[in-house]
Amino acid sequence: PAPDGWTRSDWLRVLDPGLSAGAAKDVVTVAQAIREPGWRDLAKRVVALEVTVAAAAAIIEFTDRVGPVADPADLAAAVTDLTTQAATLHRAQLGAIVRHYTATIRPPRDRDRLEEKCRGARALFFGQPARNGMVRLTGMLDPEAAATIKAAVDALSAPAPLTDEHGTVIEA
């Protein structure tokens, strides 16, 4: 964890003020993922400067997004192709291929298994409070859970008019 309640990305930006928020997020994404055995090839390519951190982060984020609901063989083939091509493509080109795979990768053939994987992939994470008290939420929800959370957040975040002690709305 980053010190003083900072997010890892914010902490990196304190250490290197020239680092953009997106670049810091990419560094954190890659640093967390490459410790896993499944990312050895990608990690080697990043360390050898064959693949940029930004490209590696795009591949990892693609896998995080579609992995829970994708056919494992299709996903493995897509990741291998993306990892191989990442060394020779510009970020925009890699992004186009990621979008293509995102749109075309097939879910598992068994619909019940797909729904079970979607439910199993649900997660909601609360970040550490920032210095100003704000808390970052990130998550992945199935459509039903997302609708429930959205309805609750929308109700809580709607602007409330100023009222006096009698409940009368005060004109601005």
How far does Cα 43 stand from its chain's mean position?
Answer: 19
Rounded (10°) CA dihedral 81, 91, 87, 97: 10
Nearest to 60 by CA among 50, 49, 20, 41: 41
Give the pLDDT confidence score for residue 108 in this predicted structure.
58
Q: What is the 3-state secondary structure (H, E, C) of 113-156?
A: HHHHHHHHCCEEEECCCCCCCCCCEEEECCHHHHHHHHHHHHHH
Q: Which residues of the chain have pLDDT under 70?
A: 1-3, 108-112, 114, 171-172
Give the pLDDT confidence score for residue 172 in this predicted structure.
53
Give the pLDDT confidence score for residue 52 in this predicted structure.
93
- Structure tokens that stand for 39 in this block: 């990312």
Long-range pairs, 8-14, Cβ under 8 A, ≥24: 10/130
Give the pLDDT confidence score for residue 1 in this predicted structure.
66
Give the pLDDT confidence score for residue 152 in this predicted structure.
85
